Structure 1
Amino acid sequence: MQITKEQVFVWSRNIRLFHWINVVAILLLIALGSMILHSKTFGIAGDGKVLLKTIHVLVGYVFACNLIFRLIIGFVGKGYERWHKTLPFNSGFKAEFTEFKAGKKQAYKGHNPAGKLMVLALLATMTAQMISGLVIAGTDIYYPPFGHYFAESIAIDKDNLAAIQPYSKENVDEVAYQAMRDIRNPFITAHVYVFYCLLFLIPLHIIGVVIAERREKSALVSAMVNGYKYLPKNNTDEH
């Protein structure tokens, strides 16, 4: 029996732009972060390492602005931009997930239950990475939003903050600098471990998309380009 399908608009321009900007930004951040993490192996030191960190932070700003935009439209957006349609917190999610595991529903207008769990995991790790990254940027190369505060906290002469530069001890109080490094250490640890979590979650997400597409045959990938899925008539969720 042939199933009749219809073209259904699901993903708004906001969601699609967020998704692809996020893909590019994360790939760049992973590449740059890996080079920074293994800088000794690559023979990168001094000005080269500062340059890598600066580019990493600038790309990080794009990533952060894009993520903050997504977090905001989850509360004020329309349709499948909204969190109650994207995250596994709606009242019927448990029953929805049970139905999904049993294979009773073959098509989902938005994310299927497994997809909602993955979105939650990715958003949580990306948010943790954003926060830890902004703190590290402020304590390492003294970039906004926290750089001025940390530079001022370690300065001997508060009126000469311009003298404080990465890997330079000019105008730096050693005791205050060590205190700043102590504050920084747990954020560094979190940033590294969340980085590894993302390296695990991203391939898992891709595998999940492949499996879902084989199961649903609803054009999942192209839907994130043009916004449209192809779904069986009268067999789509409205969660």
Structure 2
Amino acid sequence: MAIIAPTRKDVQHHGQIKKYSASLRLWHWVNTIVISGSLITVLINSTITDKRAVSALVKNELKNAGAVITDDQASSAAHALGDSVWSVHTYFGYALAALLLFRLILEFFQLADQKFIRKLKSAYQQFKTTKKEREVARHELTVKGIYAIFYLLLIIMAVTGLFLAFEDLLAPFKSIRHSVKSVHGFCMYLILAFIFVHVIGVFLAERKTDKGIVSDMINGGGGHS
């Protein structure tokens, strides 16, 4: 069992498969779409709409068409294009913040045995007290710990992103803008790392002992293993 691979087994209820509420499944897949969209906008702005490359392209194309513009004018056009992409990124950020709020509220209304905090505590207790299937308990605790870090990263991303989106209203804190932006960007790389680890883990789980884990996140899981 790979340490990064999630498991279908419910450590709280021996012999049963984990259940996922419809609300949690909706959050999971919409969150996947929003994070993917946000990361794609970053990729576009760092490659396709790179300011220097676009400036040179605009200037050359207009020159070939018989128009002459200055470097500053070409740079302004490139900057406007980049701003358009960042605007889309900002909307994805608003959606991410809303989804995070939804997830936090959902935690209070989930069935007791489906709450993340309870599952994390249960995994820890199982690891501390159980002697049978200790490896399973350790694995579950590790996976839940990784998810906890992911949630923390989402909170940091949302808070720093909102700070950058409303920086004009937060003028008194302008001195920390660069630091906030650096933290925001660094967290993005950590989330990318989590996504990579998560996808590989799910792939390994599907290939080995936990086939059907993706189906569970679509259909809700449950039943006996």
Q: TM-score, normalised by structure 1?
A: 0.66
Greater helix fraction, Structure 1 or Structure 2:
2
Decide whether the 8 Å contact of 1:219 with 1:229 is kept in 2. Answer: no
Q: Give 1:108-119 correspondences, 5 Å limit.
A: 112-119=140-147
- 1-side partners of 2:126 and 2:16: how far apart? 25
Q: Give 1:188-207 correspondences, 5 Å limit.
A: 188-207=181-200
Gaps of 5+ in 1: 1-5, 106-110, 140-146, 154-175, 233-239
1:209 aligns with 2:197: no
1:72 aligns with 2:105: yes
Q: Give 1:151-166 correspondences, 5 Å limit.
A: 153=171
Residue 47 of structure 1, aligned match among 80, 86, 89? 80
Q: Which runs of 4+ in 1 moved over 4 A?
A: 6-9, 88-91, 96-101
- How far does the alpha carbon of each residue in 1:103-148 deviate from its partner, in whole angstroms, 9 at most, with x for none? 589xxxxx93332122112111111111111111112xxxxxxx5x
Greater strand fraction, Structure 1 or Structure 2:
1
Q: Kindly state the Cα deviation for residue 212 of structure 1 after the two structures are TM-superposed.
A: 3.1
Q: TM-score, normalised by structure 2?
A: 0.70
> Relative contact order (C-alpha < 8 Å, sep 6+): which is higher?
2
- How far does the alpha carbon of each residue in 1:171-209 deviate from its partner, in whole angstroms, 9 at most, with x for none? xxxxx8xx72x2211110101111111111111011222
CA 1:193–1:88: 2 relative to 1, 3 Å: farther
Query: Which residue does 2:12 correspond to in 1?
Result: none
**Code of the aligned partner of 1:119:** Y
Q: Give 1:3-152 correspondences, 5 Å limit.
A: 10-38=19-47, 39-40=50-51, 42-43=53-54, 45-88=78-121, 92-95=125-128, 102=135, 112-139=140-167, 147=168, 149-150=169-170
**Code of the aligned partner of 2:213:** L
Give the superposed CA RMSD.
Answer: 3.1
Decide whether the 8 Å contact of 1:88 with 1:117 is kept in 2. Answer: no
Identity of aligned residues (%): 24
Gaps of 5+ in 2: 1-14, 56-77
Secondary structure class of the residue paired with 2:151: helix
- 2-side partners of 1:96 and 1:42: how far apart? 59
- How far does the alpha carbon of each residue in 1:25-45 deviate from its partner, in whole angstroms, 9 at most, with x for none? 011111112233453365273
Secondary structure class of the residue paired with 1:228: coil
1:185 aligns with 2:178: yes
- 1-side partners of 2:192 and 2:185: how far apart? 11
Q: Kindly state the Cα deviation for residue 81 of structure 1 after the two structures are TM-superposed.
A: 4.0
- How far does the alpha carbon of each residue in 1:81-116 deviate from its partner, in whole angstroms, 9 at most, with x for none? 4133343576505337986663589xxxxx933321
